[in-house]
A and B are shown apart, each in its own frame.
Chain A
Amino acid sequence: MTAILKTRDVHLSYAKQETLHGVNLDFDDHSITALIGPSGCGKSTFLRCLNRMNDLIPKTTVTGSFQFHGKDIYAPTTNLVELRKQIGMVFQQPNPFPFSVYENVTYGLKLAGHTNRHYLDEQVERALKQAAVWDETKDALNKNAMSFSGGQQQRICIARLLAVQPDIILLDEPTSALDPISSAQIETTLLALKKTYCIIIVTHNLQQASRIADRTAFMLNGNLIEDDLTSKMFTKPANQATSDYLNGKFG
């Protein structure tokens, strides 16, 4: 396993109040890393640092080192547009554009300047198949993406992301707005995608983390408490706080 993304000493303050107090985490390629912890522990904030979505929030300052393929994400020369193509994000709320499925999936490709219809068709099919939503959408590619169910919408969003072939996929509680059946389908999709991508998922659902993640990182009050192989962390956590959280003593 090689770490594709390494973060060191990540501090983040919002309006002079520090919410991340030095996080060090490595993320391996071809694996799923889950970030867990109680609400407000900073796991989503940390995730959003990884493709610089926090740049959009005024008065936010981020320090620390983020090495992606050996290059610093926060270097002044970093092309934000290219970075976000390589480190894509799926949000908590399914957020397909109110356009057709086809237009949603080709959105990123068209931004990148692809106009060849044949190539776009191919990529749409590949992305929708990878996101396991091809069977439901293949006869309705021109239908408005908003007219699908929540779970289907979320998988269309994943397909929209896969179409641009990122290296890393960030998921911010992608199933918390979905029913159990749709969640299970998303989990199956993620397990299949792991073979090709580095996946980092923030989740509130501990069972979900234990089911799909190779590694799990536990955060509390802006600190990284523990990160380890999921199997080890869920059976023999090294830290008492981790153990308490996993056993539901607080949350």
Chain B
Amino acid sequence: MDEIQKKLTAPSKASREDVTGRIISYTCIAAIIILVISILYFITSRGIATFTTNHVSLWQFLSGKEWNPGTLNAKGQPQVGALPMIVTSFSVTILAALVATPFAIAVALFMTDIAPKNGAKFLQPVIELLVGIPSVVYGFIGLTVVVPFIRHLFGGTGSGILAGTIVLFVMVLPTITSLSVDALRAVPTYFRSASLALGATRFQTIYKVLLRAAMPRLLTAVIFGMARAFGEALAVQMVIGNAVLMPRNLVTPTSTLTSQLTTNIGNTIMGTLPNNALWSLALILLLMSLVFNLLIRCIGKRGEIKS
């Protein structure tokens, strides 16, 4: 009897493994949490230095059109107006998403409903390939093909929002497509059967039932694409022109938040206003990605298909 009791209460090899496993996973989680908090703290503390140490007003930063952090303007204020970059970032993001979404959804529908077997077999690798191409390659193609083409058509330098949009369109297309495929596959087959059994054609089924039932998740896909476009730096930097000027139309050189960061972060001295101003741009990027995440969560929660 005693022996059985001993056996039951003594820690076994399996139970020790269980404890070890738990310790390892908790340690990893703790490390990640500390890392995330550190990044947030670092960007925030640097980003608000512009406003706390250098006493630039937040309004001036968000609405000013002059970006020249090294010099003072006539009133003796530093010229750190980020509006041109904010406008450009949003323009390329929204335009790229607008152009890419119809294509992405069409490709996704082809893969899930129109030719589920062959379509998926051929298009899946194509999309994966598009994801795998490094952004510098996209930028390089943009610089050598898209920019000269736009220059030829519209004159000027050819760089600008249009070139950025075209490059980003190709870059966000696979993101939106693969998430749209997931969204459409998540619509239960019995909705399709029900619609067809009521005498709907395939096309009617697609636009009256499928797209509608998948709408929240399709929106999520688009927002994921937008988040990617908003955060893309290198490829955009190569085609946008990198002049911090308010864009007058789609083909004037301008600059996004990210392209300004990659261009200048190496040329400024830690702790000075030009450096702090760049951190403030990074802070805007961080906050925007937070907004994108919140949007995705809100839409995702509202649109869960209950069954």
Does B209 sit at the interface, judged by CB under 8 A?
yes
Does A85 sit at the interface, judged by CB under 8 A?
yes
Q: Which residue of B lies closest to A160 (CB)?
A: B198
Distance of B305 from chain A, by nearest CB (Å): 6
CA of A221 to CA of B204, assembled, Å: 37
> 1/0 per position for B191-204, CB-CB distance to A under 8 A?
10111111111001
Check A98 against B213 for contact (C-beta < 8 Å).
Answer: yes
Distance of A23 from chain B, by nearest CB (Å): 21
Check A108 against B190 for contact (C-beta < 8 Å).
Answer: no
Q: Of B199, B201, B306, which one neighbours A164 at CB under 8 angstroms?
A: B199
Do A97 and B209 form a contact, CB below 8 Å, given A53-B193, A91-B190?
yes
The residues of B that contact A58 with a CB separation of less than 8 Å are 117
The residues of A that contact B191 with a CB separation of less than 8 Å are 95, 97-98
The residues of A that contact B196 with a CB separation of less than 8 Å are 53, 56, 84
**Chief secondary structure at chain B's binding surface:** helix
Distance of A183 from chain B, by nearest CB (Å): 19
Check B190 against A88 for contact (C-beta < 8 Å).
Answer: no
Check A85 against B194 for contact (C-beta < 8 Å).
Answer: no
CA of A65 to CA of B199, assembled, Å: 22
Distance of B195 from chain A, by nearest CB (Å): 7
> 1/0 per position for A78-112, CB-CB distance to B under 8 A?
00011111001101010111110000000110011
CA of A58 to CA of B212, assembled, Å: 26
Q: Of A53, A96, A108, A146, which one neighbours B199 at CB under 8 angstroms?
A: A108
Do A146 and B307 form a contact, CB below 8 Å, given A84-B199, A85-B199, A111-B199?
yes
Check B198 against A164 for contact (C-beta < 8 Å).
Answer: yes
Complex interface residues of chain B between 196 and 225 (CB less than 8 A to chain A): 196-201, 204, 208-209, 212-213
Check B194 against A157 for contact (C-beta < 8 Å).
Answer: yes
Does B155 sit at the interface, judged by CB under 8 A?
no
CA of A89 to CA of B2, assembled, Å: 68
> 1/0 per position for A123-152, CB-CB distance to B under 8 A?
000000000000000000000001100000
Do A97 and B213 form a contact, CB below 8 Å, given A53-B197, A111-B200?
yes
Distance of A216 from chain B, by nearest CB (Å): 24
Does A51 sit at the interface, judged by CB under 8 A?
yes
Do A81 and B200 form a contact, CB below 8 Å, given A146-B306, A146-B307?
yes
Check A88 against B198 for contact (C-beta < 8 Å).
Answer: yes
Residue numbers of B with Cβ under 8 A of A are: 117, 188, 190-191, 193-201, 204, 208-209, 212-213, 305-307
Residue numbers of A with Cβ under 8 A of B are: 51, 53, 56, 58, 81-85, 88-89, 91, 93, 95-99, 107-108, 111-112, 146-147, 157, 160-161, 164
When A and B form their complex, which 6 residue pairs have the shortest distance between CB atoms, in order from nearest? A85-B199, A95-B190, A89-B197, A108-B198, A84-B199, A95-B194
